[in-house]
Structure 1
């Protein structure tokens, strides 16, 4: 598990509108990379292009190349569903399936893929995924209860368990703590530190302190004005971005002068 990500001259469009322009980035396997920047600068759109989720919007398309290791996920004939099995996503708000139990939520990806397994195999997958999300001990006695009955922080960790259950190579997180209280946020941040041992993790966050805490490298995105595409302004070690950035826009943003 865990693959590198390389974007080469990647442009993301919604119809004729170019939302993200000319991104070139290399993300190492088994690492945490944070995307920061003001609202509307394209960081979430770019994140969603990493597993072709943006294509769920009619008219969305990409120009350029995006590689997982040596495989271009935008090459002709590549199935987006296959890509999404390799690159999982955790969304801003916890979204366990409300009619499913905790156990069924964890197994949802396997069910969707038509995976056949014995009960003991399913039990092993559920326990491994929940342990990987630091949730097993909290829910082991309520496996058959609705996942929606858990607390907000537990629901988000359940969604992470659902993601890791299918053993992707990359985990994308779109502001995973924005709807959570400080204690739950800390639990997710601790979990991210554990996940990078096995996965490539990319996180969008508006919380710059969070980016500084959880990531090794940070990419700063910005936008020149209304109607202009978002661009990646600077990408470097997180300590450099926050302490000695090379671009004045980055320096002004991390100093809280705009955004």
Structure 2
């Protein structure tokens, strides 16, 4: 399932304002790539461009290319809905559908993607597999008919991960997935990410330097020159290198807490 992402000369706009400028990077399959940098530098905007969520905002657009195993996700005739099925996303705050049961939350994405004709027994297997994959099955298997909103915050986030992987994407994007969680739930999500990278390409935005150091294989540092300026990718390398001997002084200053 996991696929490689190659981004080339990507500029991201909100109307005439260029929010992110000139990003070129490669994201390896079956790995975790962390994106770090101060608030407002374009990390989350860039992340949303990887599955075309950015363009749901009126006036938003990109130039450049995002290649998924060589196919340009912004190419002519490419369906954004299909892109989002292959490149799933987990948001900052857990967002289970409040009126749906745990079971219905897991299969919601499948049903939106043409899975309404799937037999009940097959659907049951998909739900169990997705919840197993999200390390949630043993905690909820006896209450699948309860509302998703009845779970704790950490469980809700794992439910959202189960919902994302139920449609069998190639890539999983996570926008600060632990920022609203307590330390124990954060550790559970980090352990889960480490397991999921065996099957998925994972890209995570995080403000937590320790988290980036713990979970990621590679790290990209974004920065911004000032208000009204576009965010830029300053450098990207193996995480161990970025946190020990970064090439750029601004990276070292940010990682060491001198700014941001």
Runs of 5+ consecutive residues of structure 1 not aligned to the other structure: none
Query: How do 1:21-100 and structure 2 match up within 5 A?
Result: 21-100=21-100
SS at match of 1:126: helix
State the Cα distance separating 1:237 from its structure 2 match: 0.4
Using the size of structure 1 for normalisation, the TM-score is 1.00
Q: Which residue of 1 aligns with 2:223?
A: 222
RMSD: 0.4
Q: Which residue of 1 aligns with 2:166?
A: 165
Using the size of structure 2 for normalisation, the TM-score is 0.99
Q: Which residue of 2 aligns with 1:257?
A: 258
Q: Which residue of 2 aligns with 1:106?
A: 106
State the Cα distance separating 1:114 from its structure 2 match: 2.3
SS at match of 2:250: helix
1:143 matched to 2:164? The reply is no
State the Cα distance separating 1:76 from its structure 2 match: 1.0
Aligned residue pairs total 259
Q: Which whole-Å CA distance do the structure 1 matches of 2:120 and 2:214 have between them?
A: 39
State the Cα distance separating 1:131 from its structure 2 match: 0.1
Q: Which whole-Å CA distance do the structure 1 matches of 2:237 and 2:200 have between them?
A: 20
Q: Which whole-Å CA distance do the structure 2 matches of 1:226 and 1:56 have between them?
A: 24
Q: Which residue of 2 aligns with 1:211?
A: 212
Runs of 5+ consecutive residues of structure 2 not aligned to the other structure: none
Runs of 4 or more, structure 1, over 4 Å off, are none
SS at match of 2:211: helix
